[in-house]
A and B are shown apart, each in its own frame.
Chain A
Amino acid sequence: MIKTNTFQNILILITVFAFFTACNQEEKQQQKYQNQIGDTPYNFNLDTKNFKLCDSLNTLHKRAYVKYKGGNKALKKELVENYKLQSQYKTYNGYFIIRFVVNCKDEAGRYRMEVLDENFNLANAPKELQKHILNLFKTLKNWQHPFYENKHYDGYKFITIKITNGQIQLV
């Protein structure tokens, strides 16, 4: 009788352990794989609360459909004009890839940035420069949300900035 109880307890323990291990693995998998590569959920530490997606379950991952009023020329002009070259950036070379979402009200948010060196390795650009580049994007106000197959969408976009000897260039 005692032996049976001990066996039952061990079985229960194994079941409980297996259950929690499975949950943990599922959680890890959830962290590693997003529903779509590039999905950018709200992050309390990075994002403004006011920015909302119109349909968070159906955000378009087709960057060509997110446009800027006046086209690439206008976007380039605005970025170049607002970029302030500081003397400490003059030797800097590398890339900034800025990703964000434009919602159906043409507001932009959820900015994320990847900083790479000339050989596309992760890089440590000067913090001030990183902040400046990100702010350049946050001040752009003429985004146009995607209109795709006769439907309005929120849409993901990314823009690449190349810095050569401190000079900015839109890729």
Chain B
Amino acid sequence: MKIIIKTLFFLFSALIFSQENCFIYPEKSPERKACELCDKAITYQQGSKESQLIFDEAIATAPNFAWSYYQKAVPFLKRGFLYEGLEILNNAVELKPLEYLCYRAYWYWQYQNHNLCIKDLETYYALPKAYLQFTPGGEKDMRLILGLAYAKQNNYKKAIKTIEDCIATYKTEDDIGLSDYHTLAILYIKIKNYNKAIETMNMQFTVNKDIPDSYYYLGLAYKGKLNFKEAKIQFNKALLKFQEDNYYSNPNAGFKAYKIDVETEINTLNSL
């Protein structure tokens, strides 16, 4: 139930992020007109000629209205036209860095350009009015993405600090994301702090027990402590979780485990 409520909350957050309130612009102003055009464009299928024509009309109407560029860029980015998509999105970032830096950072993350991702997110979080931002799917605080990007550059110390600091800002346990502790636990494994990894992964299970990878990484932590019996128990739990229909796929995991990874570990332990 907790997971459903959180998922709905995150989806709602994502929806809010994707909408613009046209009424904040003066009536008959170019921005108001462009905003209304964008509202019209998004009623058409994303990436369709009809929508693109209207976005271009919106851009021509108010060249300094960032939302038109953002909306126009999305289908390009989603369909593998990265160069074209970024060219358009850069206009939105330039006009409204506070709103669109994180979105561009997300695409840099998606394309595993960790340097550019870190650069954008560090710029964003240095802004005086930086606020809580999530991945477009709403499942992860962007500070987790920043932490993961550091980790991808093997800067685990900075990665751990970023995510620990992020979690520390949450007012209650209910604000914890569905994979925050999971992500942190993996980073402890990377620096071979297995006790902290086990402790953190057990905290993950109080929030969300449905990521198969959690059991896999917990198994790795026990394996690191040479507790092969417990490691095997966790690997088998991971295998069972992978067989369930509705396990949580943990988008933007950064360090993803696959069923074959689990099977390999079980086979290795069986052969000891």
Q: Is B53 an interface residue (CB 8 A)?
A: yes
Known A38-B81, A160-B80; judge A169-B47 contact (CB<8 A): no
Q: A37: which B residues are within 8 A, CB to CB? A: 47, 52, 75-76, 79, 81
- Whether B83 contacts A122 by the Cβ 8 Å rule is yes
Q: B80: which A residues are within 8 A, CB to CB? A: 38, 63, 97, 99, 114, 158, 160
Q: How distant is the Cα of A99 from the Cα of B79 in the complex, in angstroms?
A: 8
Q: Which of A36, A63, A116, A169 has the most CB of B within 10 A?
A: A36
Q: Is A61 an interface residue (CB 8 A)?
A: yes
CB interface residues, B 92-118, toward A, < 8 Å: 110-113, 115-116
Q: Is B16 an interface residue (CB 8 A)?
A: no
Known A120-B116, A162-B112; judge A71-B258 contact (CB<8 A): yes
Known A33-B49, A36-B49, A71-B258; judge A119-B116 contact (CB<8 A): yes
Q: Is A26 an interface residue (CB 8 A)?
A: no
Q: A171: which B residues are within 8 A, CB to CB? A: 110-112
Q: How distant is the Cα of A37 from the Cα of B72 in the complex, in angstroms?
A: 11
- Whether B82 contacts A97 by the Cβ 8 Å rule is yes
CB interface residues, B 36-52, toward A, < 8 Å: 45, 47-49, 52
Known A73-B260, A169-B112, A171-B111; judge A36-B83 contact (CB<8 A): no
- Whether B53 contacts A61 by the Cβ 8 Å rule is no
Q: Is B149 an interface residue (CB 8 A)?
A: no
Q: A99: which B residues are within 8 A, CB to CB? A: 79-80
- Chain B, 193-216, contact with A by CB distance < 8 Å: what is the 0/1 string? 000000000000000000000000
* Beta-carbon nearest neighbor of A116 in chain B: B83
Q: Is B66 an interface residue (CB 8 A)?
A: no
- Whether A156 contacts B112 by the Cβ 8 Å rule is no
CB interface residues, B 240-269, toward A, < 8 Å: 258, 260
- Whether B79 contacts A35 by the Cβ 8 Å rule is no
Known A71-B258, A118-B113, A171-B112; judge A36-B81 contact (CB<8 A): no
Q: How distant is the Cα of A122 from the Cα of B79 in the complex, in angstroms?
A: 17
B interface, how many residues as a size bin? 20 to 34
Q: How distant is the Cα of A159 from the Cα of B80 in the complex, in angstroms?
A: 8
Q: A95: which B residues are within 8 A, CB to CB? A: 82, 111, 113
Q: Is B178 an interface residue (CB 8 A)?
A: no
Q: Is B86 an interface residue (CB 8 A)?
A: yes
Q: A71: which B residues are within 8 A, CB to CB? A: 258
Known A33-B53, A34-B49; judge A156-B79 contact (CB<8 A): yes
Q: B79: which A residues are within 8 A, CB to CB? A: 37-38, 61, 63, 99, 156, 158
- Whether A120 contacts B82 by the Cβ 8 Å rule is yes
CB interface residues, A 135-171, toward B, < 8 Å: 156, 158, 160, 162, 169, 171
Q: A169: which B residues are within 8 A, CB to CB? A: 112
Known A35-B48, A171-B112; judge A114-B82 contact (CB<8 A): yes
- Chain A, 62-99, contact with B by CB distance < 8 Å: what is the 0/1 string? 01000000011100000000000000000000010101
Q: How distant is the Cα of A38 from the Cα of B78 in the complex, in angstroms?
A: 10
B37 CB, min distance to chain A CBs, angstroms = 16
CB pairs A–B below 8 angstroms (8 shown): A34-B49, A35-B48, A37-B52, A71-B258, A114-B82, A116-B83, A120-B82, A120-B111
Q: Nearest 8 CB-CB pairs, A to B?
A: A158-B80, A38-B79, A37-B47, A33-B49, A37-B75, A171-B112, A99-B80, A97-B80
Q: Report which A residues bind B (CB closer than 8 A).
A: 33-38, 61, 63, 71-73, 95, 97, 99, 114, 116, 118-122, 156, 158, 160, 162, 169, 171
Q: Report which B residues bind A (CB closer than 8 A).
A: 45, 47-49, 52-53, 75-76, 79-83, 86, 110-113, 115-116, 258, 260
Q: A114-B81, A120-B113 are in contact. List 17 more A-B contacts (CB 8 A).
A: A33-B52, A35-B48, A36-B45, A36-B47, A37-B52, A38-B81, A95-B82, A95-B113, A97-B80, A97-B81, A97-B82, A114-B80, A118-B115, A120-B82, A120-B86, A160-B80, A162-B112
